[in-house]
Amino acid sequence: MRLLSCRGADRRVVAEAADALRDGKIIIYPTDTLYALGCDALNARAVEKLCRLKNLNPEKNMLSIVCRDISQAAEYTRIDNKAFRMLKEYLPGAFTFILPAATKLPKVFRSRKSVGVRIPDNDFARALADELGNPVMSSSVEIDEGICAQGDTLDAYAIADRYDGSQDIAFAVDGGEMRPVPSTIVDIMESDAPTVIRQGAGIFEE
């Protein structure tokens, strides 16, 4: 699999990655936690293809989008005042916030009426959503001993090897080594009662 080296938001790599997403392709790219598989969140066929690749059932599994900022997230989710204050406090950061999905997202997202929102503390991930002009549907790569032994850091070379040969993935973006710790998931469907669903890299004060 082709591996593009990128530290930060290299404009050439960001543009090539955004073009691939516009063409309905899937890429592997870095976030502030794990590497992720990503596609254009508004391309229903690409989203369905990524779901098949990851064995995700949208009726049972939460789907997530990566946005450039809260303003972009607000176009595709419903954010009340309390939720907005939480997002502003914790993002960009290693969190996935579960919010009500808006009608602008494809039908596959609305089957659960909710969507996970990420605004990573990673220049490339945010620049990609900015260059694309809409969110990136994102799902973390599977982590096991085949690509990351316990205690080791995660690198793009091992991930590219894992997915090498997959015709669904255009290329991988090498953003350097990272710790194999996922984002913290916080359910704020009811913003008065935020609930930590999964403890990960981010620390949320309830």
Q: Residue 59: its pLDDT value, please? A: 87
pLDDT over 60 at 174, yes or no: yes
pLDDT at residue 158 tops 80? yes
DSSP state for residue 77 in the 8-state scheme? B
What is the mean predicted confidence (pLDDT) over 103-124?
92
Question: Per-residue confidence at 145, pLDDT binned at 50, 70, 90?
Answer: low
Give the Cα separation of 32 and 114 in Å (integer): 23
Residue 151: pLDDT band (50, 70, 90) is low
Query: What pLDDT is attached to residue 98?
Result: 98
CATH 3.90.870.10 describes domain 3-198: yes
The CA–CA distances, whole Å, from 109 to 7, 26, 48, 65, 96 equal 31, 17, 10, 10, 15
- So what's the pLDDT on residue 80? 98
> For residue 201, is pLDDT > 70?
yes
Computed on alpha carbons and rounded to an integer, the radius of gyration of the chain in Å comes to 16
CA-CA-CA-CA dihedral for 98, 102, 105, 111, to nearest 10: 70
The pLDDT of residue 179: 85
- Cα separation, 140 vs 109, whole angstroms: 17
Instruction: Give which of 188, 176, 180 is closest to 77, Cα–Cα.
Output: 188
How large is the average pLDDT for residues 172-183?
Answer: 92
Give the burial class of 74: count Cβ atoms within 10 A of its Cβ; 0-12 exposed, 13-18 middle, 19 or more buried: middle
Helix, strand or coil for residue 130?
Answer: helix
Question: What mean pLDDT is predicted for residues 117-143?
Answer: 96
Residue 150, pLDDT > 60, answer no
Q: Is the pLDDT of residue 159 over 70?
A: yes
For residue 144, pLDDT beyond 80:
no
pTM assigned to the model: 0.94
Report how far apart, in Å, the C-alpha atoms of 60 and of each of 51, 55, 188 are.
12, 11, 18
42-76 pLDDT per residue, tens: 999 999 999 999 999 988 999 999 999 999 999 99
Backbone angles phi, psi at 125, to 5 degrees: -60, -45
| Whether the predicted pLDDT of 156 surpasses 80 | yes
Give the Cα separation of 97 and 27 in Å (integer).
Answer: 23
Indicate the pairing of strand 64-66 with strand 114-118. Answer: parallel
39 φ, ψ (degrees, to nearest 5): -145, 170
Q: What is the per-residue pLDDT for 147? A: 66
User: What residue ranges do the domains of the chain occupy?
Assistant: 3-198
pLDDT at 157: 86
